[in-house]
Amino acid sequence: MSGVVWRLAALLLVLSAPAWSGPCDRVQANDELISCLDGEYRSADKGGLDYQPNYIRCQTERSRQRIGELKRSPFWRD
């Protein structure tokens, strides 16, 4: 990328930084911050129990797709 594009990307990154702020940004005491961040983490991670079945389903689907691709290749032998 040219230098101009990199500078533009950096500028956009800096200008969008306030959009990244969260509810814990205004907490001042350390123990309150820890509690707030822990709540944020738990909220974001509450779909964690679905991880393994979704991962297995995704891997199975991708494996079937890949087998189909390989079977269509000129190098496939039964």
CA distance 70 to 78: 11
**CA-angle at 64, arms to 58 and 68, nearest 5°:** 145
- 68: which 2 tokens? 């189909």
CA distance 12 to 17: 9
Q: Which are the contacts of 1, defined by CB distance < 8 A and separation ≥ 6?
A: 9
CA distance 59 to 53: 10
The predicted model gives 1-6 an average pLDDT of 66
| pLDDT tens for each residue of 17-70 | 544 467 777 878 888 888 888 888 787 767 766 777 888 888 999 999 999 999
